[in-house]
Amino acid sequence: GAVVSQHPSRVICKSGTSVKIECRSLDFQATTMFWYRQFPKKSLMLMATSNEGSKATYEQGVEKDKFLINHASLTLSTLTVTSAHPEDSSFYICSAERRGGYEQYFGPGTRLTVT
């Protein structure tokens, strides 16, 4: 159990366009989902915490208007990178906290390349 999926796994987009990334908990309900980004050979950087039915809480320095997060249900959260620029190119990973537990389970990640 505790499987988290992400879609797409890899996306290339042109500068100025928007990209939506989906994160789904497949076999459990996730009360909280987290969005991270990771640069090569660096650790995870938390971007925002997302609770079902409420607004996401963004970390300092993360622009909420640029990284739109929607947590529509207990199994789905989406991250939309708006007006993407090359510096937004990164590995975006979501995680989900299973209801009744404290541990986080990670999705497989989405590699975004902005050209």
> How far apart are CB 65 and another protein at their closest, in Å?
22
Nearer to another protein, 50 or 78 (CB): 50
Q: Are strands 90-98 and 110-114 parallel, antiparallel or unpaired?
A: antiparallel
- Provide the residue type at 109 as one letter: G
> How far apart are CB 98 and another protein at their closest, in Å?
10
Preceding omega of 40 cis (within 30 degrees of 0): no
- The footprint of another protein (CB under 8 A) covers 2, 31-32, 34, 42-44, 46, 49, 51, 93, 97, 102-109
Nearer to another protein, 32 or 75 (CB): 32
Q: How far apart are CA 104 and CA 15, in angstroms?
A: 32
